[in-house]
Structure 1
């Protein structure tokens, strides 16, 4: 099989990112800074004259808004997919961690302990989330074998890809950044994922890390 190369992008900033509030499947739009980041991102990709075969995007609005600027600059149609949505955070959605600690301490504790099979009361477990994301990523890799593609999605999605490619399990704390609108390069060949370059922010003024 030929190598498939991915440029993975977390959406631009939202007001809830700034408030450190968990969004999950809730459809929060970009704020003004996030829209600016989307333009900076699109300009950087155009300036580097990178060639992409396709643009695959989460169907949530914050990802589609980010990808829209790229689509216009690079002339690539948006292909949206529910499989690229953020993790469903169940009872945590719409809350900050401080609010969760106060109001739903049992859910907060199991989340912080990274119980990989806990579904956050109606959401997705870490194990189920990783299975969803990596199944779809492999489908994209095989569909675009030998090509270079763009994927615009969410912090949790990028975390699952990084953990898979680096061989890191789900139970340990995250030790790598996932900034809004940064460039993250990975490749897939013969069933193996490999990270090339992660969290390239050289085109941005400043960017928030994932929760």
Structure 2
């Protein structure tokens, strides 16, 4: 690839604390599902960590390109990171293709304990999405592959941060590394966990 990519899962959100699934774009952009106070602190700490990582590599933190899912929890995370890096919050680009994997109408706003059943199905059939129009692993992988292609066309020799969600980033990582899509949860990130995807 022509660019270096870091990935960051959003900080702990109010939805995480309530234990509910918020995966539709309509719900995801609502402020009531943004970061919790703990999540805000996690995002600040992630920004500091990334600043250190970039400095160690001889890169100016202010040179970073930041793309974020449009969900409130990811945008808030990205903006807090940007501030830590000395970038204006206006530099954060909202990218719809980084949105959360949609888990379907049957699971929307239901208990996050239901994720486990979805991931079991993922391991059996990457083409089958959750009930009610949910996205399959394969569909999310295709969406993210298209995004990477667009970013590779738009940038060259840059360092790019992608701020997104648990399943979105585990599927992206598996796709980039050529792993088995059904086992994407092996690449799962904790809230506000930073990872170097492509050096």
Q: Which bin holds the TM-score, normalised by the shorter protein?
A: 0.7 to 0.9
Q: Which residue does the alignment assign to 1:55?
A: 66
Contact 1:24 1:88 in 2 (8 A): yes
Q: Distance in 2 between matches of 1:53 and 1:177?
A: 24
**Where do residues 81-96 of structure 1 align in structure 2 (5 Å cutoff)?**
81-90=95-104, 91-96=106-111
Alpha-carbon shift at residue 164 of structure 1 (Å) = 1.2
Aligned partner (choices 36, 42, 45) of residue 37 of structure 1: 42
Q: Distance in 2 between matches of 1:32 and 1:109?
A: 30
Contact 2:126 2:136 in 1 (8 A): yes
Structure 1 gaps, min length 5: 102-107, 188-195, 197-211
Higher helix share: 2
Q: Structure 1 residues 124 and 69 mapped into 2: Cα distance closer, same or farther (>3 Å)?
A: same
Q: Distance in 2 between matches of 1:71 and 1:175?
A: 28
Alpha-carbon shift at residue 180 of structure 1 (Å) = 1.2
Confirm whether residue 116 of structure 1 aligns to residue 126 of structure 2: yes
Q: Distance in 2 between matches of 1:58 and 1:173?
A: 19
Alpha-carbon shift at residue 55 of structure 1 (Å) = 0.9
Contact 1:110 1:118 in 2 (8 A): no
Secondary structure class of the residue paired with 1:9:
strand
Q: Distance in 1 between matches of 2:74 and 2:149?
A: 20
Q: Distance in 1 between matches of 2:20 and 2:146?
A: 28
Q: Which residue does the alignment assign to 2:51?
A: 46
Confirm whether residue 179 of structure 1 aligns to residue 194 of structure 2: no
Secondary structure class of the residue paired with 1:6:
strand
Contact 1:21 1:97 in 2 (8 A): yes
Deviation track 1:105-141 (CA, whole Å, cap 9, x = no partner) reads xxx8565222322232222122111111121022112
Structure 2 gaps, min length 5: none
Contact 1:55 1:151 in 2 (8 A): yes
Secondary structure class of the residue paired with 1:172:
helix
Q: Distance in 2 between matches of 1:83 and 1:38?
A: 21
Deviation track 1:19-40 (CA, whole Å, cap 9, x = no partner) reads 5432212322111110011111
Q: Distance in 2 between matches of 1:148 and 1:119?
A: 33
Secondary structure class of the residue paired with 1:65:
helix
